[in-house]
A = this chain, B = another copy of it.
Amino acid sequence: RTLKIGLIPGDGIGREVIPAGRRILEALPSSLNLKFSFTHLDAGWETFQKQGVALPDKTVEVLKSDCDGALFGAVSSPTVQTKGYSSPIVALRKRLGLYANVRPVKSVGSGGKVGKVDMVIVRENTEDLYVKEEKTYTAADGSKVAEAIKRITEKASYNIAAMAGDIALRRQRVREAGAESIHSRPQVTVTHKSNVLSQTDGLFRETARRALAEQKYQSVKVEEQIVDSMVYKLFRQPADYDVIVAPNLYGDILSDGAAALVGSLGLVPSANVGTGFAIGEPCHGSAPDIEGKGIANPIATLRSTALMLEFMGEEEAAAVIYKAVDANLEEGRLLSPDLGGKATTEEVIEDVCKRL
């Protein structure tokens, strides 16, 4: 089987880590019988400066018509409000209908200061405040007022909760097949702020509970947490959480928070998932502070590549990559500086590829 992968490096260290995705795919054992072809695609701040758009139509068209999956690096944002600029990854999620953002956060070995962590944050990926419907007006006294719409739909809430339930069940199957885990039963925690936003977050909460009450999720324990309390608990008792489902913005915040638990954002992958299409994306940003130094941690991208494969149905290939990454981390000899090591991006990639 030949898989066509779009590569969208973006800006900053996006360009240094996306090659890791390509390298690991090309290094997969031939016994897996997978071949890959790659297409480079533009997006980001530099693209905006050159072409006047941050997400060229061509990128979207090629992804739609000619790719089975893709990897997205990271993009820089302008430091001042810039007319016409709009985040390309936010646009991509919407235009490709990638309704779920799946972010597994897992510690390797004995875990960090907070102990072992093994959770997946399942973030709604198309609505909430990310609809970006904003307006600005002038008040009677001449001062400015700006408003944004937060939109929550029953449909998207249902779909994301079902995705969370499915992931909880899949994780349970993997555990039952013998994988070690800190969890013994599937659990989904619904996160919201319905004590203030009774209609919007209220709709999210009710719909999620209804979705997860269906027969097929019978074995899943369903809990809820108000988002502020969720952040608190995340840091106090991270081992209590298996799958967390949240509206877009809370999911964004929670996944960065969870990343802090495992030592570095440079370890945390994500997949933007739609029906039949997935874009792997490291959770870190373009990191202008280390750009060009060749020391960006490629692990988030390697894991995002595996995650993309998982959602393309290639679970075996994904498992091979996860194992190689875990082995690198467990040995702890070749680590990038964000993990306290001295290895370059290149050295980490090589080490992981060797372990495939």
For residue A60, CB closer than 8 A to chain B, the reply is no
For residue A146, CB closer than 8 A to chain B, the reply is yes
Most buried by B among A113, A253, A255, A285: A253
Q: With both chains docked as a complex, state the minimum distance between the C-beta of A121 and any C-beta of chain B, in angstroms.
A: 12
From B130, B200, B228, A253 is in contact (CB under 8 Å) with B228
Contacts of A257 in B (CB 8 A): 228, 231-232, 235, 257
Number of copies: 2
Given contacts A206-B81, A231-B257, contact A154 B145 (CB under 8 A): yes
Judge whether B148 and A200 touch: CB under 8 Å.
yes
Judge whether B87 and A196 touch: CB under 8 Å.
yes
Judge whether A90 and B148 touch: CB under 8 Å.
no
Judge whether A130 and B260 touch: CB under 8 Å.
no
Query: Once bound together, how far apart are the Cα atoms of A232 and B227, in whole Å?
Result: 15
Judge whether B150 and A203 touch: CB under 8 Å.
no
Most buried by B among A81, A147, A202, A233: A147
Given contacts A81-B198, A197-B132, contact A154 B144 (CB under 8 A): yes
For residue A33, CB closer than 8 A to chain B, the reply is no
For residue A214, CB closer than 8 A to chain B, the reply is no
For residue A195, CB closer than 8 A to chain B, the reply is yes
CB nearest neighbor in B for A265: B232
For residue A194, CB closer than 8 A to chain B, the reply is yes
Which residues in window 193-218 of A have CB below 8 A to B? 193-200, 202-203, 206-207
27 A-B pairs in the complex with CB atoms less than 8 angstroms apart: A77-B195, A81-B198, A81-B202, A81-B206, A87-B196, A90-B196, A129-B197, A132-B196, A134-B198, A139-B153, A139-B155, A143-B153, A143-B154, A144-B153, A145-B154, A146-B200, A148-B199, A149-B149, A149-B150, A227-B253, A232-B256, A232-B260, A233-B260, A234-B260, A235-B260, A253-B253, A257-B257
Point out residues on A near B: beta carbons under 8 Å: 77, 81, 86-87, 90, 113-114, 129-130, 132, 134-136, 139, 143-155, 193-200, 202-203, 206-207, 227-229, 231-236, 249, 252-253, 255-257, 259-261, 265, 285
